[in-house]
Amino acid sequence: VGVKNVVESEDVTAKLGKTSSRILVFVRVRPLSKKEKESGSRSCVRIVNQKEVYLTEFANENDYLRLKRLRGRHFTFDASFPDSSSQLEVYSASTSDLVEAVLQGRNGSVFCYGATGAGKTFTMLGTVENPGVMVLAIKDLFNKVRQRSCDGNHVVHLSYLEVYNETVRDLLSPGRPLVLREDKQGIMAAGLTQYRAYSTDEVMVLLQQGNRNRTTEPTRANETSSRSHAILQVMVEYRVRGESNVVMNRVGKLSLIDLAGSERALATDQRTLRSLEGANINRSLLSLSSCINALVEGKKHVPYRNSKLTQLLKDSLGGACNTVMIANISPSNLSFSETQNTLHWADRAKEIRTKEQNEEITQIPNSETDQAKLLLELQKENHE
């Protein structure tokens, strides 16, 4: 995932040496909606060189040098997707490498961030005709598993959960709120359904059903809540029988997160964040911003414990994880300041450094002692 791996020695432990890497940040602009066109709004977003995003004030403004000089009008990301981008293009650039990594026993996560209506759910879940990252990732995963079926046995489990108003709910089996517990493996929601998945077809139906279970706000009946975070976790377990009939297994976890609408929680500095803390806004989203700030500033203490979302994602942000952010924006000039805030937030997220994972760990070692050693290191790394 755009990280460099340096192998200096043949020694197994030396292969595990890590250096610093940062999380990848992408931007996706959705097309102008019919409503926006009818209200006479126009696009204020230009994408140049598939990376740079410019915010323009005037309809035909193409003076990028001028915009570059203005504060908050010019941003550069790992890739920026124009409104013509397909779901597959977005998936391939942002997530397909993580699917490969998860098959090798690593953790990874992809977040969609942005204001309500900016295209987060479309990017993550999509529609039956136009499936999004969640479905394409699972499809890709099953294809890869099929290709490797002779190497060992892969088992895929799915969990789909929601964080709404600081309660965690199981979207695959709605009922009472779930309690978070911490054990050696990390933080988990007790009693969460782990659905054993065998094919892609069943997964789309399952996810759509789960999405309908997301909490809706009383004032916005029939609309998915803008304040609910949906997290799909895909666990891939790989089992292989060693020479002396010992079963070795490793588990990789991919978390795909459709965050709540960011419109009321767009503060990036600590003071504003704290003053918003008491107000009736999304605590989990604010905590996510606080954690990102702490990680960017290299603080020792990262306040994961402040919210349910950040507790659940602790192993997906700061540690040796592969993390991808997709910032979704509307092109409409009516959403100019929302878009600018989202881009500013995404720009900040670019600075988070994580510990790099070393690809060499996935090579099949010669002896069982080496294999056991590697497995232990991998478990330690994932836990970290």
**Contacting positions for ligand ADP (CB under 6 A):** 30-31, 33, 114, 116-122, 261, 328
Shorter beta-carbon distance to ligand ADP: residue 136 or 295: 136
Query: What are the b/e assignments for 302-322, b being 16+ CB within 10 Å?
Result: bebebbbbbbbbbbbbbbbbb
Q: Does residue 121 have a known ligand-binding role?
A: yes
Shortest Å, Cβ 131 to ligand ADP: 12
Shorter beta-carbon distance to Mg ion: residue 105 or 261: 261
Which 8-state DSSP code applies to residue 310? H
Q: Does residue 115 have a known ligand-binding role?
A: yes
Shortest Å, Cβ 258 to Mg ion: 6
- Using Cβ positions, the residue closest to Mg ion within the complex turns out to be 121
Distance CA 161, CA 170 (A): 5
User: 């779901």: which residue's tokens?
Assistant: 87
> Could you say whether residue 282 binds Mg ion (CB under 5 A)?
no
- Indicate which of ligand ADP, Mg ion, none lies near residue 30 (CB less than 5 to 8 Å, by partner kind): ligand ADP
Shorter beta-carbon distance to ligand ADP: residue 56 or 121: 121
Shorter beta-carbon distance to ligand ADP: residue 119 or 318: 119
Shortest Å, Cβ 98 to ligand ADP: 20
Shorter beta-carbon distance to ligand ADP: residue 83 or 351: 83
Which 8-state DSSP code applies to residue 115? S
Distance CA 196, CA 374 (A): 27
Q: Where are the beta strands (DSSP E) in the chain?
A: 20-22, 24-29, 45-48, 52-55, 74-76, 79-81, 107-113, 153-164, 167-170, 180-183, 186-189, 195-196, 228-241, 247-258, 322-329, 353-355
Which 8-state DSSP code applies to residue 246? P
Contacts of 220 (CB under 8 A, 6+ apart): 226
Map residue 236 onto helix, strand or coil.
strand
Specify the amino acid at residue 9. Answer: S
- Using Cβ positions, the residue closest to ligand ADP within the complex turns out to be 119
Shortest Å, Cβ 68 to ligand ADP: 26
Shortest Å, Cβ 206 to ligand ADP: 19
Q: Which helix (H) or strand (E) holds 110?
A: strand 107-113
Map residue 101 onto helix, strand or coil.
helix
Shortest Å, Cβ 65 to ligand ADP: 29
Shorter beta-carbon distance to Mg ion: residue 73 or 120: 120
Single out the residue of 312, 318, 364 nearest to residue 104, CA to CA: 364
Q: Does residue 120 have a known ligand-binding role?
A: yes
Among 21, 94, 107, 121, binds Mg ion (CB under 5 A): 121
User: 């976790």: which residue's tokens?
Assistant: 233
Do the Cβ atoms of 248 and 242 come closer than 8 Å? yes
> Could you say whether residue 341 binds Mg ion (CB under 5 A)?
no
Q: Does residue 323 have a known ligand-binding role?
A: no
- Indicate which of Mg ion, ligand ADP, none lies near residue 328 (CB less than 5 to 8 Å, by partner kind): ligand ADP
Binding residues for Mg ion (CB under 5 A): 120-121
Binding site listing for ATP:
114-121
Binding site listing:
114-121
